[in-house]
Amino acid sequence: MEAPSSHYATNGTTNGAPHIHINGINGVAGPSKGYPPTPPSTHPGTSTPHILNRQYRLHAIILSRSPYLAHLINTAGSSSIHVPIESEPLITEDGFAIALGYLYSSISLHLVTPQNALSVLASACLLGGMEDLCQLAYGACKEHITFETLTDWFQFLDAPPLSSPSNPSTPVGMSPVTASPSTPALELGGPTTVLGPYAQRLRDDILVFVVSTLPQTLQAFPSYSQNPAKPPAAGTESGYDTLLRIYSTLPYHVFKHAVESPSFPVGIGGEQTRFRFAKEAIAARKKTKAGRDAEESVVLAFGKAEGGSAVHVTRKMKKRPLWKVAK
């Protein structure tokens, strides 16, 4: 079988071959590596997906390697098959094309990059039967959780849940409504449906980075093995101030979870340092969108719960003023 190494587009009909319409791809259609090859035949055993204004001719028997597409092909009442992905903002044309290409050959694994990994993961989860591709794309996403990409991942954490079309043939362990067995105490919103358990795994990875890895990388708090932190060079920001700036923009539920987490590495200062940092972060949050519309506060409780924190963050939404209409 020819490897999916070239982009193709065809127009017109396929002499009675079934058509597959893939609607709602986000982004602009254009040349992209990784599309399956153009089968030279117009045999009725071929299917022709339509992505935006482009038409792609594929073998139906190859598409049937995807449990999801196989179900649509087998239950279609006409020659046109629609893949309803317009409600999946994580899926782009490039990512979906790579997942389609994987049906032809594993060469598509080499096309996954940190930039398209999340879309590839979402596409592979939707189509099903692509665990190798899912694992590779998930690994690329995890490696791409960095200081420079945090803002994008915050949007992933804070996005409202989506209602995705039911996938009748999602592989075992990839149910759109099944949570990861290691679900943490923090339940977050977000586009969980199409990603299945990979959504919670990614959230766990983001939280570990925000709560533990980032403060340690910035050396925001002096540890028992460190000398007292040196003042930053003129014109530069200290690790503590950088962490304050980042935490001032966190979604509230992530901020609260991070500051109260036993994994938050406050170092030798203990709970007093945690309390001071939370207090300064809340003051900074009042100047940002994250805390502007609410009254956030922090208290330091006497004693410390076993395995927990003595610092507790609370939030109360500000009441909007009521205007009386004059008669």
Contact 62, 103 (CB under 8 A): yes
Please count the CA atoms within 13 angstroms of the CA of 305 that sit on its side-chain side. Answer: 10
pLDDT of residue 222: 82
pLDDT of residue 83: 74
What radius of gyration do the chain's Cα atoms show? 25
pLDDT of residue 320: 67
Q: Give buried/exposed letters for 107-139 (b at 16+ CB in 10 A, else e).
A: ebbebbeeebbbbbbbbbbbbbbbeebbebbbe
Count other C-beta atoms under 10 Å from residue 70's C-beta.
19
Q: pTM (2 decimals)?
A: 0.72
Q: Please give the structure tokens belonging to residue 265.
A: 């590495």
CB-based contacts of 146, cutoff 8 Å, min separation 6:
none
pLDDT of residue 325: 66
pLDDT of residue 185: 45
Residue 143: closest CA among 120, 119, 121, 113: 113
Q: Please give the structure tokens belonging to residue 130.
A: 């692509």
pLDDT of residue 79: 60
pLDDT of residue 157: 75
pLDDT of residue 32: 38
Q: Please give the structure tokens belonging to residue 243.
A: 């962490």
Beta pairing partners, 297: 314
Structure confidence by residue, pLDDT tens digits, 77-95:
666 667 777 778 888 888 9
Residue ranges of the chain whose pLDDT lies below 50: 1-18, 23-44, 50-53, 160-185, 188-191
Residue 154: closest CA among 246, 250, 243, 247: 250
Structure confidence by residue, pLDDT tens digits, 176-225:
322 233 334 455 444 457 899 999 999 999 999 999 999 999 999 987 55
